[in-house]
Amino acid sequence: MADSILVLNAGSSSIKFSLFVERGGGLDVGLHGQVEGLYASPRFIAKDASGSTVGEKSWSEGAQFDHERALDYLFGFIRGELSGFRLAGIGHRVVHGGLEYTRPVRVDAGVLARLDKFVPLAPLHQPHNLTPIRLLLARQPGVPQVACFDTSFHRTNPEISQRFAIPEELHDAGVRRYGFHGLSYEYIASVLPTFDAKAAAGKTVALHLGNGASMCAIEAGKSVASTMGFTALEGLPMGTRSGAIDPGVLLYLMDERKMDARAIEDLLYHQSGLLGMSGVSSDMRKLLDSDDPRARLAVDVYLYRIRRELGSLAAALGGMDALVFTAGIGENSVEIRDRACRDAAWLGVKLDAAANGRGGPRISTADSRVSAWVIPTNEELMIARHTRRVLDPNGIRESPIREGFPSAAL
């Protein structure tokens, strides 16, 4: 019986899932979908690899519908779909692995207790990531679970790039730059050799531009710097997050506006970024389609900050061989890529506008000193691969990487 691996990504109001199946030595995505609208208007949808809907349901009980109910339903559904496959393990996306977890880990009660200690470092994400692990440890103890962290890929950052200029005692207590979106960057680093072997061995800046947005400097496959820091608030402006902001602004908001930590958290995580600047939307598509001058300003600021961070990461790398765009905006927005590449001309990027219009994968001209690429990310496949490796440490089934999503093909 062939193995399957379930990948779960649990947030405050949704649980996303992907079910991978072993086929011909590789991992193919079988089903994917989500239960969303937890505690409000819960809805379930599952699609097969071709995008056809294979399951759909909604519930009316709203506020009572919690993560446990969602997991119960999800498990029942998946068990029903698993004929011919054995559930070999479950891989979870977990935002924070602290300094301790430099790679994915099989979770038992002891590991879970250590992951709980990172909740103060990522209070909006970590508790929700851990909820299904806790429930499944209790209810499905026979199914191995593996936690894969958004921070792990950045643990190769030199000490100097992790340091804030604050007293040592705070640094030692964990107030330092961790970096996030690591599973996405790790995936990009893992497939880059098939696109551009020279860049993969050299210096690359990858741009993960989704609702959350960050950039990462990668040298010979390893992260050396990231725009995200202690939290996933740092760096680029995002859909609703501010990105970098003078810390003096926070003092001002406390003193003059009498805002407390929760009010500032709401402002910086949920009311800022593209939404805050435009007053229109957090959705890049809507901003690009809008005639509202504030929407145009939001896009201009977004690109300006990408340009500034690119200079910073290229400086951290001491040069650049390639630029890679990924995630919702990076994979789909011709205009954002066009403008970001033109802004990077001084670094040696020559845009091939027609190739960019077609979506790549290569969007720089043949004579461009720095190559530019569109590479769809696949964090779920990265988690599935990690889970398989952790559960199969002798590598008996370890096999050449094969992509699960057709969109990731060259």
Give catalytic residue positions: 150
Closer residue to ligand ADP in complex, CB, 97/212: 212
Let me know if 386 is exposed, middle or buried by CB neighbors in 10 A (0-12, 13-18, 19+): buried
Spatial distance between the Cα atoms of 191 and 409, rounded to a whole number of angstroms: 10
Please, what is the minimum distance in Å from the beta carbon of residue 303 to ligand ADP? Answer: 13
Closest CA to 45 of 6, 90, 14: 14
Question: Which residue's Cβ has the minimum distance to ligand ADP?
Answer: 328
Please, what is the minimum distance in Å from the beta carbon of residue 213 to ligand ADP? Answer: 8
Closer residue to ligand ADP in complex, CB, 96/203: 96
The first and second tokens of residue 218, run together, are 């990668």
> In sequence order, which ranges of 153-201 are alpha helices (DSSP H)?
159-162, 168-172, 182-195, 197-201
Closest CA to 20 of 82, 103, 93, 95: 82
The first and second tokens of residue 377, run together, are 């990310």
Neighbouring residues of 61: CB distance < 8 A, sequence distance ≥ 6: 42
**Is the separation of the CB atoms in 196 and 208 below 8 Å?**
no
Closer residue to ligand ADP in complex, CB, 21/236: 236
CA diameter of the chain = 65
Closer residue to ligand ADP in complex, CB, 216/370: 216
Please, what is the minimum distance in Å from the beta carbon of residue 78 to ligand ADP? Answer: 22
Please, what is the minimum distance in Å from the beta carbon of residue 203 to ligand ADP? Answer: 25
The residues that touch ligand ADP, with contacts defined as CB under 6 A, are 210-212, 239, 283-285, 288, 327-329, 332-333
Closer residue to ligand ADP in complex, CB, 82/334: 334
DSSP 222-240: EEEEES--SSTTSSS--SS
Please, what is the minimum distance in Å from the beta carbon of residue 22 to ligand ADP? Answer: 26
